[in-house]
Amino acid sequence: MTDPAIREPISFRSEFKFFLRDIPVEITLRLYNPVHSNTVIVRQSHFIAVAGVDQEEQAACEDQTRDGDVLQQAISEFVCVYNAAIGNGLKPEASWLQRNPAFN
């Protein structure tokens, strides 16, 4: 693990899958630990973006996690944008979720 040929080694920690209500797209979150660190990295299968939901509404959700847990923060991002869109009178659409091309 210390050879210069090895770049950014990580170990798999867990996987979490869920759906947002009325959107038939499975979202996957994977948690990893860098080998030489205690931090947690989250990789997600999709990103959420909704036309008509401004950045302020999305950013306001970021502080709603209480325990600072990485998984909860990632889920909260999806849920907050989803709820803001619903609050603006929009109907859920699969197009809100964009596939992450770096997720495999």
Query: Hey, which bits of 49-104 come out as E strands?
Result: 97-99
SS3 97: strand
Residue type, 48: I
Q: Is the pLDDT of residue 28 over 90?
A: yes
Helix (H) or strand (E) holding 79: helix 70-87
Q: pLDDT tens-digit profile of 50-102?
A: 988 876 666 566 544 333 488 888 999 999 999 999 999 999 999 999 999 99
What pTM does this model have? 0.81
Q: Which residue has the tokens 């603006």?
A: 88
Per-range mean pLDDT, top range of 4-8, 13-17, 57-61? 13-17
* Distance (Å, whole) CA 44 – CA 26: 11
Q: What confidence tier does 30 reach under pLDDT thresholds 50, 70, 90?
A: very high
What is the full DSSP assignment across 2-53?
Answer: -STT--S-EEEEEEEEE--TT----EEEEEEEETT-S--EEEESEEE--TT-
57: which 2 tokens? 């509404």
Q: Half-sphere exposure of residue 82, counting CA atoms within 13 Å on the CB side?
A: 17
